[in-house]
Amino acid sequence: MNEHYQHRARKRFGQNFLHDAGVIDRILRAIHAKPGEHLLEIGPGQGALTEGLLNSGAHLDVVELDKDLVPILQHKFRDRDNFRLHQGDALKLDFNQLQVPERSLKVVGNLPYNISTPLIFHLLAHAHLIRDMHFMLQKEVVERMAAGPGGGDWGRLSIMVQYHCRVEHLFNVGPGAFNPPPKVDSAIVRLVPHATPPHPAKDPALLERVVREAFNQRRKTLRNTLKGLLENAAIEAAGVDGSLRPEQLDLSAFVRLADQLAAQQAGA
């Protein structure tokens, strides 16, 4: 491997490499990895975060899609026996191959912004294996994750993330910390999966369905948008006013609607 090989950042892989040592250090301190822990890094790139994560003594699996980065990473970390590289798409990662006990995995990454939402949903499906997650995302996405009901940021992402996790917007990062600089501001978020969800739904898949339908047309009333799933009487039976718009409902109200749908399907 040529030490002087210069990797050109690729837009299609969402490559914006971190180069600000102060920001890298702040992220590593937030993650706070310890020996004996098991970490998964999504999109290690050229290893900006990877190095510090390995120095913690934790075991680290990384998933990188860009084949050209594989020899760079393998060369850079060739002496580390706590490093395991998987070349491939994090959206297709089979969590079984990591063989981790329940609630143990720490997931981290300066995520490719073009796939951050599907990636978060993929991870939420494995929330029972995860202890915590720390991600760099577009600031606007972090604001949506951390939002409360009543405003324009409250939507499918906020509700499904908050159903599974406690959300902490830790700090913001400007474009200058990256090479090349992205066009948007970024932020670090911490997601901690709940041991038990504060508002458990009988069937979380139905919660997803209700939330998706409700926010498909967020300006309309629930009575209108949920027509295909629940009659107005069923909405009212769940203790929800059908003349409200979806952004006016909190998580527990959406869970009641999902449970109403579950009861309706069980009775059908």
Q: Does 187 bind ligand SAM (CB under 6 A)?
A: no
Residue 148 CB, shortest distance to ligand SAM, in Å, is: 28
Residue 208 CB, shortest distance to ligand SAM, in Å, is: 22
State which of residues 28, 39, 40, 48 lies at the interface with ligand SAM (CB under 6 A).
Answer: 48
State which of residues 28, 90, 129, 188 lies at the interface with ligand SAM (CB under 6 A).
Answer: 90
How many residues sit in the footprint of ligand SAM (CB under 6 A)? 23
Residues 194, 200, 205, 206, Cα dihedral to 10°: -150
Nearer to ligand SAM, 49 or 147 (CB): 49
Kindly indicate which of the ranges 58-66, 126-134, 200-208, 225-233 contains the residues binding ligand SAM, using the contact rule CB under 6 A: 58-66
Q: Does 17 bind ligand SAM (CB under 6 A)?
A: yes
Contact 100, 38 (CB under 8 A): yes
Residue by residue, DSSP assigns 4-49 as T--PPP-GGGT--EE--HHHHHHHHHHH---TT-EEEEE--TTTTT
Query: CA of 209: how far to CAs of 59, 142, 205, 240, in Å?
Result: 37, 22, 6, 17
Which amino acid belongs to residue 2? N
Kindly indicate which of the ranges 62-70, 74-82, 163-171, 211-219 contains the residues binding ligand SAM, using the contact rule CB under 6 A: 62-70
Nearer to ligand SAM, 115 or 165 (CB): 115
C-beta nearest to ligand SAM: residue: 43
Residue by residue, DSSP assigns 61-78 as EEEE--GGGHHHHHHHTT
Q: Does 61 bind ligand SAM (CB under 6 A)?
A: no
For residues 95-124, which are near ligand SAM according to CB under 6 A? 110, 112, 115
Kindly indicate which of the ranges 61-69, 95-103, 203-211, 218-226 contains the residues binding ligand SAM, using the contact rule CB under 6 A: 61-69
| CB atoms closer than 10 angstroms to residue 16 | 23
| CB atoms closer than 10 angstroms to residue 158 | 23
Q: Does 40 bind ligand SAM (CB under 6 A)?
A: no
193-232 b/e (C-beta count within 10 Å ≥ 16 → b)? beeebebebeebebbbebbebbbeeeeebbbebbeebbeb
Nearer to ligand SAM, 150 or 180 (CB): 180
Binding site for ligand SAM (CB under 6 A): 13-18, 42-45, 48-49, 63-66, 69, 89-91, 110, 112, 115
